[in-house]
Amino acid sequence: MINTIHYTSPLGDILLASRNEKLIGAWFEGQKYYLSNISGGIVEKEDEILSKTKDWLDRYFNGEKVLINELDLAPEDTSFRCEVWKMLCKIPYGETTTYKDIASEIAKNRGIEKMSAQAVGGAVGHNPISIIIPCHRVIGSNGKLTGYAGGLDKKIFLLNHEKAIY
């Protein structure tokens, strides 16, 4: 069973979802790939991880540099996407990295010569736990802001909120 609640953020409504007391989703209402990784019964019910997530988001939007490891995350998808999302969790608050840098790191970790930045971009775009898994901190290698499943305006807001240099 999947528990869900709605969280009202400065950027609009966010649907939070959990399974077995682990956070599996945080989607802006209407964002690309909304609920795309969810299967099974869904109920509107607040549990402990969803309460913790609401508190985490409150503190984040109030300017606190909250830590990702405060929440028990369990995004569900392919092993490649999960690998990319783990790397996103290492990007410090207020900093950015590029799709190319992530691709290079994955290639190095896998002992291969090269990894596609576009493949990384696809995984980043399918991130089911917006804000908390900070896909908004990934930019193009030319320094340009590229797409964001929740909308480019939200990405800009989040980077400015964190006082990121991009």
* Domains and their CATH numbers in the chain: 2-70 (3.30.160.70), 79-161 (1.10.10.10)
Residue 49 contacts residue 17 (beta carbons within 8 Å): no
Helix axes 79-88, 117-125, angle to 10 degrees: 80
Q: What is the mean pLDDT of the chain?
A: 93
Measured between alpha carbons, how far apart are the two ends of the chain, in Å?
Answer: 40
Q: Return the sign of the alpha-carbon dihedral for residues 21, 26, 29, 30.
A: negative
Among 23, 135, 158, 164, which one carries the catalytic annotation? Answer: 135
**Average pLDDT for residues 74-96, to the nearest whole number?**
95
Whether residue 148 has pLDDT greater than 80: yes
- 135 catalytic? Reply is yes
How many distinct helices (H) and strands (E) make up the chain?
5, 6
Q: How far apart are CA 24 and CA 129, in angstroms?
A: 7
* The model's pTM: 0.92
- What pLDDT shows up at residue 112? 95
- Position 41 scores a pLDDT of 83
